[in-house]
Every structure is written in structure tokens, then in C-alpha cells.
Amino acid sequence: MTINLTMAVALAGLYTVGFYLLMQRSLMRVVIGIAILGHGANLFLQVAGGPPGEPSFVGEAVAELMVDPLPQALALTAIVITFALTTFLLALAFRSWVLLGHDEVQDDVEDRQVAVRQARAVEESSSPDVTDSDTTAEAEEASEDAPETPREVRR
């Protein structure tokens, strides 16, 4: 049994678009990416099930002509899981929109501080004449540029 080229291209396209949307900063695009990945998983399970055949009732058809019911059961389970995950993510995105007024994921203050430390470490390894007072001033400037967050910053 081989998969035809059309299904392989369709699966590759669904997974590519789904993962691309999943990596975006907009929560709505993340939700759409999850839904597209769910559709890709369902299509993959149906393609993996093989060609159509006779219903799998013992005594009704020859065993070699019966279709395997496992991929169909897994596809139904994947549909339910994708639906539940999509509704949960939609609720989270709506809550974020209500609280913040937009659905963009913001940079975290700690992430910016880590990025400044990594840049400082790269600069120190390349040029040994950088002083500690210069790098501390850069770190303080980066933390001042960081957006205000409603939670307390842990140190």
C-alpha cells in the first residue's frame, strides 16, 4: 500500500500552514493553527487506514476485504480532542482580549533581561575591554523599555 502524491502534498500543506500559524504572536492565529493541525491529523489517520473496504462485521464479509476500524476510531477521537482544545483556546483568547484589549502575546520582562544577558556574554567573549558598569546600564535600560505587566517581577 502506498500513499498517493496528492494526499502527501495535502498533508504537507496542512501541517506546514498549521505549524506556521501556531508560531505567530496572535492568539487567534494560534487557535486557527491548532484547528488546521487537527484536520491534518484526521486526514493522516484516514489515509493511514488504507483504501475503502467492506464493513468489519464478522460473518458478513471476507476477512481480507474488511477495512480496519482502528484508524476511524482514532479519527473520531482526534475530532473530539481538537474540538475541546479549540473551544478552550478560544475561551483563553477571549479572556485575554477582554483583559488586554488585543490578542497579541507580549514580550515578558524576564525574557528581555535574559536576551540582554546573552548579548552581554557574546560581547564580553568577543571584546574583553567592556566594563561591568556599561553592561549594567544596558540591562537597566532594557528593563525600563519593557512593557508594564500586571504581575510582580520575580528576581
pLDDT per residue as tens digits for the range 71-98: 889 999 999 999 999 999 999 889 988 9
Check whether 17 has a pLDDT greater than 70: yes
Residue 29: predicted pLDDT = 92
Residue 136: predicted pLDDT = 57
Residue 100: predicted pLDDT = 86
Check whether 21 has a pLDDT greater than 90: yes
CB 36 within 8 A of CB 17: yes
Is residue 133 very low, low, confident or very high in pLDDT (cuts 50, 70, 90)?
A: low
Q: Residue 48 carries which side chain, given as an amino acid letter?
A: A
Residue 87: predicted pLDDT = 95
Query: What's this model's pTM, rounded to 2 decimal places?
Result: 0.65
DSSP 62: -
- List of residues 6+ apart from 63 with CB closer than 8 A: none
Among 47-51, 90-94, 112-116, 129-133, the minimum mean pLDDT is found in 129-133
Check whether 148 has a pLDDT greater than 60: no
Beta strands in 22-85 (DSSP E): none
Q: When comparing pLDDT for 56 and 114, which is higher?
A: 114
CB 82 within 8 A of CB 41: yes
Mean of the per-residue pLDDT values of the chain:
81
CB 30 within 8 A of CB 24: yes
Q: What is the dihedral of CA 133, 137, 138, 142, to 10 degrees?
A: 150
Which among 41, 108, 105 is positioned nearest to 79, based on CA atoms? 41
Helix axes 70-100, 27-48, angle to 10 degrees: 180
Q: When comparing pLDDT for 154 and 107, which is higher?
A: 107
Mean per-residue pLDDT for 27-39? Answer: 93
Handedness of CA 20, 25, 27, 29 (dihedral sign): negative
Check whether 137 has a pLDDT greater than 80: no
